[in-house]
Amino acid sequence: MSEITVPAMGESITEGTIYKWHVQEGDAVNQGDVLLELETDKVNLEISAEESGVVEKILRKDGETVQIGEVIGRLAAGGEAAAAASAAPAKEEPKAEEKAAPAAPAAPSVPAEPAKEGETYLAASPAARKLAREQGIDLEQVNRDPKGRIYQENVRNHAEAPAPRPAAAAPAAQTAAPAVTGQPGKPAERQRMSRRRATIAKRLVEAQHTAAMLTTFNEVDMTAIMDIRKRRKDAFKDKHDIGLGFMSFFTKAVVGALKQFPLLNAEIDGEDIIVKKYYDIGIAVAAKEGLVVPVVREADRLSFADIEKEIASLASKARSNTLALSELQGGTFTITNGGTFGSLMSTPILNAPQVGILGMHKIQLRPVAIDAERSENRPMMYIALSYDHRIVDGSDAVRFLVTVKELLEDPESLLLEG
């Protein structure tokens, strides 16, 4: 018998929520099979079987909050043979053997383990559990043998009995959803926040309460970048097998500006300022469960193609819930692109403990004065910099954003500054 426990998950994570069990009691599993998915504040993690055997007991259900190291289930070791045996329900045992089932030597697979306080332990054989699931039978209602065990014959006898089973409906009434509040007579629905959404809400409020956050704005003429992309996109794609997007230009521009204004690449630690001499740029990605910010490491050392590939890889992982915790930790500055969804202007919230975040927005044709007599329609983008005024002065914030603008409007300079 081995225990299924919640593994340690690193930096500051002490608990998680069981998102979904992928197995049921009585299921046979092999070493490495995924048992359940655990939702944490940052990512969803899969917990796999450390050995082959049979799932004897699931102690914590979907949606329950569990602590690091907590036992959430038990696995009866049985090796590959146990998996094969429980996966073959077609074989019927001789009736004589069925009658002798309570005294059969197979009893170790259903040990009469003492129940914990408030918990009823069901010592049922894998075949019994499988048959109960197939026929929709609650094992709590099935008669046991004198030693408290449940075998396939017990489940079969229960299925053939004409007794009604009203008790099965009782738990549903006990676990009814809380009453929906709102204006009486108006339709409404109560939804529980996912762990990640609740964490996002908490941290955004904390960022606003703990930082002296201000936002400054500017706009960028995207003509030069769009011209480069138009001329180079096919050759770039052929050579690097990745498209030339906007994010590599913005990442390079941010790195160049951070080198000139290092306090925007810092964080506050008590009464100290930690100025970081490396450039790990977080790229905000909208995933199904909420916003995540995977990090492009050492962006100053990467080429345009390397940045595009890394961002594409991280975004794909974010949307498939396969990001590792290490890919979300330790960013020094963040870029978020609300323009993907059509945002024309916004004030991004800091990703604490970082002290700066750049917001990109929708590219829109607007008339721009070329000189006193001429104007042209140009592809323009508003950009926003939110910063922590505790250590970043307004003049530095404004000049940082102007530097980003100038680097983007003269893309060739990115090769020197970025």
Count of Cβ atoms closer than 10 Å to residue 305 Cβ: 17
Residue 408 CA to residue 246 CA, distance in Å, equals 10
Residue type, 343: S
Strand 333-337, strand 356-360: pairing: parallel
Tokens of 80: 């590959």
Residue type, 77: A
Instruction: Point out the residues that are catalytic.
Output: 389, 393
DSSP 8-state assignment for residue 243: -
CB 142 within 8 Å of CB 158? yes
Sequential DSSP letters for 27-85: -EE-TT-EEEEEE-SS-EEEEE-SS-EEEEEE-S-TT-EEETT-EEEEEEE-HHHHHHH
Taking Cα atoms as reference points, which of 332, 329, 330, 327 lies closest to residue 277? 332
CB 307 within 8 Å of CB 299? yes
Residue 37 CA to residue 270 CA, distance in Å, equals 37
Backbone phi, then psi, for 210, in 5-degree steps?
-100, -20
DSSP 8-state assignment for residue 396: H
CB 300 within 8 Å of CB 279? yes
Taking Cα atoms as reference points, which of 341, 362, 360, 331 lies closest to residue 248? 360
Local structure of 241: helix, strand or coil: coil
Please report which residue ranges of 281-393 form alpha helices under DSSP H.
304-319
DSSP 8-state assignment for residue 22: S
CB 351 within 8 Å of CB 295? no
Please report which residue ranges of 191-303 form alpha helices under DSSP H.
195-210, 223-240, 247-260
DSSP 8-state assignment for residue 117: T
Q: Could you give the angle at the alpha carbon of 284 between the alpha carbons of 281 and 225, nearest 5°? A: 70
Q: At what angle do helices 304-319 and 247-260 cross, to 10 degrees?
A: 110
